[in-house]
């Protein structure tokens, strides 16, 4: 097969754009049609979400990774090169979206004609708006019988100030009007501002690990040209590499001779180590250093969970699997951690719960690793007041990820918890239920806006630990699935936090300690004690399972002892005989309880610490 000559596409004939939208509004389907129209993939009925390549994406029907593809399109006699990036829609993957936008000059904003504007549409619009990209609004799914494109156009005009005549109505599934989108892309989106005469400057916006070829880096060229055999240097690690292969993605990799400024492609340069291809890194030619590109602000993990191998002998295999997967999903932060009950492991930071589940599923599917994930927690902070502790830590504010590091109340002036600004878009008939739900979660209402006569946008300030586990599910079930939710970081606020210990016969169990808001302590303590009662095996003596805050016990469950029937040999006779035997047994049990200690089996810990999926 003849290698393509990319020099026939000068900068002014290149358009880089990405498709952004809320979950399930048809981004990947629109991408399929665009690929078909430009002849990048052949037209068959099997083209369903071609760009969702991961098994996880296929099973769940969602996009997790942003995928890029190069399309060739002839418009009015000129050949254009269009670089398309398909992005995920869930709030947990908004980091992928913001990264993709850095390689683009414009976006297609897809809105479902049936659903209208939803929370993630708003969030993604502002991401693109702040990056000063040109925005092409597209109303999708007009073939549905409940579609109401006029209403959606009005919403777009009201919320985003985009005139209604700019909206293109399409049906990505049937292919209606999709050609028009391509023409609009060529007219409205500017070409990249760069030239091949400049020195090489390439931004690494994504990377994957290949077992045979090492790291494959996806790059956007902001100047110069790159070909096989060039010597390049990474601005981040200062290491030198020789380029082995460059190519473009037409969704599949296609090697070419040379990549030029303004184009998007991939390169393989024998990077063996996972840490070498930092996302956001700038590559330049050896001896021709350039000012590195600004890169990306690193993602801020919202949810932390402990991850431990089921068997400690698997530790090293899990370590290499984690390194390779975090290369591909750079928004996960990894810290070494060890727990008395579960051995050595890591504390991973994720952008949200779905992100955590998908990461876990990818570990299982792509690397055959099954792991123990502990219940998700959020990072708290403490402002220290005791001079001794300030000296020890070297600063007056510490971040607490593990309950074992929770400082005593006497040495702290205040505890801080992370908060998020949540946006909820819902049909107006569910407002009452949703406001009640938010108040139960200690949220403060900030704003309420009617988008049109039957859609409302609510803004709330939430404590992060209240929404991290099951808020999204609760919201969906209250509103029959119509409400959508999106959040962004809003800093820390002071909170009344306490550390809750679990005692077994008066001895604290360190692994089960949790940090919790004082209002919620009683309910959580009771739940934990009940769950422990079911999982700890019974002993020959009674076990008291207690939840305590400091010295105060707030919940208790008693695990009864196994006991032999000592009065079985008495037939009739005086009651004092029975009492004597029972009393002697009780004495023995009391003695045993003094000297016996409770060993909590490992699987009991796993069952209690693991995420509850059934409730």
What are 248-271's pLDDT values in tens digits?
A: 887 778 888 888 888 888 888 877
**Could you give the percent of the chain with pLDDT greater than 90?**
2
- For residues 438 and 600, give the distance between their C-alpha atoms in angstroms, rounded to a whole number: 37
What is the model's pLDDT at position 548? 92
What is the model's pLDDT at position 220? 83
Angle CA 351–355–360, to nearest 5? 130
Instruction: Taking each helix axis as running N to C, give the angle between helix 602-609 and helix 521-535, from 0 to 180 degrees, rounded to the nearest 10.
Output: 150
Count of C-beta atoms within a 10 Å radius of residue 293: 20
Count of C-beta atoms within a 10 Å radius of residue 505: 17
Say yes or no to pLDDT of 614 above 50.
no
| Residue labelled with tokens 């296609």 | 254
If you average pLDDT over residues 41-46, what whole number do you get? 66
Q: How many CA atoms lie within 13 A of 435 on its CB side?
A: 13
Tell me 569's DSSP state.
T
In this predicted model, which residue has the larger pLDDT, 1 or 258?
Answer: 258
Q: Could you tell me which residues come within 8 angstroms of residue 331 by beta carbon, excluding any fewer than 6 positions away? A: 95, 96, 299, 301, 350, 351, 355
pLDDT tens, residue by residue, 295-320:
666 667 777 888 888 888 888 888 88
Residue 378 structure tokens: 């959020």
In this predicted model, which residue has the larger pLDDT, 147 or 275?
Answer: 147
If you average pLDDT over residues 20-44, what whole number do you get? 78
If you average pLDDT over residues 490-501, what whole number do you get? 87
What is the model's pLDDT at position 274? 63
- For residues 180 and 214, give the distance between their C-alpha atoms in angstroms, rounded to a whole number: 40
Say yes or no to pLDDT of 611 above 60.
no
pLDDT tens, residue by residue, 154-204:
888 888 888 888 888 888 888 788 888 888 888 888 888 877 778 888 888
If you average pLDDT over residues 380-400, what whole number do you get? 83
In this predicted model, which residue has the larger pLDDT, 169 or 511?
Answer: 169
- For residues 41 and 7, give the distance between their C-alpha atoms in angstroms, rounded to a whole number: 23
Say yes or no to pLDDT of 583 above 90.
yes
Per DSSP, the chain holds a count of helices (H) and strands (E) of 15, 31
Say yes or no to pLDDT of 117 above 50.
yes
What is the model's pLDDT at position 102? 78
Say yes or no to pLDDT of 345 above 80.
yes
Residue 191 structure tokens: 């070409």
What is the model's pLDDT at position 615? 40
pLDDT tens, residue by residue, 119-149:
778 878 888 888 888 888 888 888 888 888 8
Domains in the chain, ordered, with CATH?
6-188 (3.40.50.300), 201-285 (2.40.30.10), 303-373 (3.30.70.870), 380-495 (3.30.70.240), 499-609 (3.30.70.2570)
What is the model's pLDDT at position 556? 92
Say yes or no to pLDDT of 47 above 70.
no
If you average pLDDT over residues 279-291, what whole number do you get? 79
Q: How far is CA 311 from CA 306, 558, 588, in A?
A: 15, 32, 39
**Could you give the percent of the chain with pLDDT greater than 70?**
93
What is the model's pLDDT at position 1? 52
If you average pLDDT over residues 482-487, what whole number do you get? 77
If you average pLDDT over residues 410-435, what whole number do you get? 86
What is the model's pLDDT at position 51? 67
Judged on CB neighbours under 10 Å (0-12, 13-18, 19+), 59 is exposed
What is the model's pLDDT at position 303? 79
Helix (H) or strand (E) run with residue 530 in it: helix 521-535
What is the model's pLDDT at position 613? 45
């Amino acid at each position: 097969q003849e290698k393509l000559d990319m020099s026939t596409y000068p900068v002014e004939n290149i358009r880089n754009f990405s498709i952004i939208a809320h979950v399930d509004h048809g981004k990947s389907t629109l991408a399929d049609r665009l690929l078909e129209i430009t002849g990048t993939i052949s037209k068959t009925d099997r083209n369903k979400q071609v760009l969702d390549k991961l098994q996880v994406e296929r099973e769940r029907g969602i996009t997790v990774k942003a995928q890029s593809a190069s399309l060739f399109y002839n418009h009015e006699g000129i050949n254009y090169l269009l670089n398309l990036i398909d992005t995920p829609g869930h709030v947990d993957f908004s980091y992928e979206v913001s990264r993709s936008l850095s390689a683009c000059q414009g976006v297609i904003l897809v809105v479902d004609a049936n659903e209208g504007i939803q929370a993630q549409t708003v969030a993604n619009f502002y991401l693109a708006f702040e990056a000063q990209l040109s925005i092409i609004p597209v109303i999708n799914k007009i073939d549905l019988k409940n579609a109401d494109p006029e209403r959606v156009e009005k919403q777009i005009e009201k919320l985003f100030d985009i005139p209604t005549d700019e909206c293109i109505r399409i049906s990505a599934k049937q292919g209606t009007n999709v050609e028009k989108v391509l023409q609009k892309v060529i007219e409205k989106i500017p070409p990249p501002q760069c030239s091949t005469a400049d020195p090489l400057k390439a931004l690494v916006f994504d990377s994957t690990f290949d077992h045979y070829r090492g790291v494959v880096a996806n790059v956007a060229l902001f100047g110069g040209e790159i070909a096989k055999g060039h010597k390049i240097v990474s601005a981040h690690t200062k290491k030198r590499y020789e380029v082995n292969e460059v190519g473009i993605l037409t969704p599949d990799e296609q090697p070419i001779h040379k990549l030029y400024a303004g184009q998007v492609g991939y390169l393989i340069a024998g990077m063996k180590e996972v840490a070498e291809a930092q996302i956001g890194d700038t590559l330049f030619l050896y001896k021709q250093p350039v000012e590195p590109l600004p890169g990306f602000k690193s993602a801020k993990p919202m949810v932390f969970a402990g991850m431990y191998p089921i068997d400690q002998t698997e530790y090293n295999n899990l370590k290499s699997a984690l390194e390779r997967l975090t290369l591909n999903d750079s928004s996960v932060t990894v810290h070494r951690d060890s727990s008395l009950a579960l051995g050595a492991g890591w504390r991973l930071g994720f952008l949200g719960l779905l992100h955590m589940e998908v990461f876990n599923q990818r570990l299982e599917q792509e690397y055959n690793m099954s792991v123990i994930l502990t219940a998700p927690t959020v990072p708290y902070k403490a402002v220290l007041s005791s001079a001794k502790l300030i000296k020890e830590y070297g600063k007056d504010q510490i971040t607490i990820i593990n309950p074992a590091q929770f400082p005593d109340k006497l040495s702290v002036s205040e505890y801080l918890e992370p908060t998020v600004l949540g946006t909820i878009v819902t049909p107006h008939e569910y407002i009452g239920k949703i406001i009640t739900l938010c108040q139960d979660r200690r949220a403060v209402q900030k704003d309420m806006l009617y988008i049109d006569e039957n859609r409302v946008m609510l803004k709330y300030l939430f404590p992060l630990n209240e929404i991290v586990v099951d808020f999204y599910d609760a919201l969906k079930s209250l509103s029959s699935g119509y409400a959508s939710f999106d959040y962004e970081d809003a800093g820390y606020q002071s909170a009344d936090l306490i550390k809750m210990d679990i005692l077994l016969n008066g001895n604290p169990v360190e692994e089960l300690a949790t940090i919790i808001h004082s209002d919620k302590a009683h309910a959580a303590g009771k739940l934990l004690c009940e769950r422990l009662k079911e999982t700890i095996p019974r002993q020959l003596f009674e076990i008291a399972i207690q939840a305590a805050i400091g010295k105060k016990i707030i919940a208790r469950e008693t695990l009864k002892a196994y006991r032999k029937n000592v009065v079985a040999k008495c037939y009739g006779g005086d009651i004092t005989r029975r009492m004597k035997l029972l009393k002697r047994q009780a004495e023995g049990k009391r003695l045993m309880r003094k000297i016996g200690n409770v060993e909590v089996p490992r699987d009991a810990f796993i069952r209690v610490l693991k995420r509850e999926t059934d409730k």
